[in-house]
Amino acid sequence: MIAVLNIDGRQLKVEKNQELYISKISGEKGDKMKLNTVSLIEDGKSILVGTPLVDGAEVGISIVEQTKDKKIVVFKKKRRKGYQVKNGHRQMLTKIKIDSISVGKTTAKAKTTAKAKTTAKAKTTTKSKTTTKSKTTAKAKTTAKAKTTAKK
Question: Running along the chain, 152 residues long, what does each successive block of 10 average in pLDDT?
Answer: 93 96 95 95 91 93 97 98 97 96 67 53 56 58 60 55
The pLDDT assigned to 112 comes to 52
In this structure, are 134 and 85 located in the same domain?
A: no
In this structure, are 96 and 66 located in the same domain?
A: yes
| Contact present, 16 and 44 (Cβ < 8 Å) | no
The pLDDT assigned to 145 comes to 60
In this structure, are 101 and 142 located in the same domain?
A: no
Q: Give backbone dihedrals phi and psi of 14, rounded to 5 degrees, phi first.
A: -125, 155
In this structure, are 89 and 25 located in the same domain?
A: yes
In this structure, are 90 and 115 located in the same domain?
A: no
Residue 98: in which H helix or E strand, if any? strand 83-102
In this structure, are 96 and 115 located in the same domain?
A: no
Q: Range of 44's domain?
A: 2-106
The pLDDT assigned to 110 comes to 45
| pTM exceeds 0.75 | no
In this structure, are 56 and 24 located in the same domain?
A: yes
In this structure, are 86 and 74 located in the same domain?
A: yes
| Contact present, 13 and 87 (Cβ < 8 Å) | no
151 contacts: CB under 8 Å, gap ≥ 6: none
Asked if the structure places residue 151 within a domain, the reply is no
Total number of domains constituting the chain? 2
In this structure, are 13 and 82 located in the same domain?
A: yes
In this structure, are 24 and 88 located in the same domain?
A: yes
